[in-house]
Amino acid sequence: MVQQSGEKKIVKIYPEVKESRLSKLLGGKANQELPESIRSKLRVLENKFNSLIKPHIHYRMVDFRVKDDGVIRIERTIEFESRNLSEVMKSAEKLVCFIGTLGPGIEEEVGALMHHNDFSEAYILDAMGSVAVEDLVDKFQQTIKNECEREGKTVTLRFSPGYCDWPLTEQKKLFSLFEPEDILVQLLDSCLMQPVKSISGVFGIVPQGSILYNPCTDCDDRACKARRI
């Protein structure tokens, strides 16, 4: 059953390091098969990687209102300012706000490896973390989608502050929905997150059959790394 509005929850999901995503980060093309030399290093690093990550997602499902001026208002005082986000959420009944992280283990180990000039292993381990944290939030969104479908609903595209026309500074508003001591993710003055292998964002819950707007269809920036077409 989909949780009640406003309730804060934590979910632990074990992410995968998919080679199809990893190949692009390691200098190849998306979905390109990795060289055996790198695959052998991945096998060696697998146990270390699994021991370093502590994946979890904190989330809230909140009521909201889309205003005519491209603003989403939550809990009377919080307003997300993005016309594209507002368009995506026009048909949504609830907004899922989340902060997911792998914990600090990966970046601490990468720093230690760099200190000892083991750049190759550090680079691969860092790439594994980047792929895993994306997979973490993908799996989380799919879990919520599966729950929603049992109630005749589905989910929208996922948005994170700093993407499209949603300013990175809006991280502060998103983080204000959570207690800092609970989530174990710190928001820096730059609005970047610590640990680095963390992702925050929102997506909506809509009735099945709703038209799901994708702002990428109206955007000509074909070089955008976040493009979803």
- Could you list the beta-strand ranges (E) of 103-152: none
pLDDT digits (tens, 9 = 90+) for 87-127: 999 999 999 999 999 999 999 999 999 999 999 999 999 99
pLDDT (0 to 100) of residue 6? 62
Our CA dihedral for 57, 61, 65, 70, rounded to 10 degrees, sits at 10
Work out the mean pLDDT of the chain and round it to a whole number.
90
pLDDT (0 to 100) of residue 182? 83
Which top CATH class is 8-218? alpha beta
pLDDT digits (tens, 9 = 90+) for 35-51: 888 888 888 899 999 99
Q: How far apart are CA 91 and CA 76, in angstroms?
A: 20
Domain residue extents for the chain: 8-218
CA distance to 163, 225, 227, per residue, from 222 (Å): 14, 8, 7
Q: How far apart are CA 54 and CA 67, in angstroms?
A: 38
pLDDT (0 to 100) of residue 119? 93
The residue assigned the tokens 């948005």 is 159
Contacts of residue 224, Cβ cutoff 8 Å, sequence gap at least 6: 216
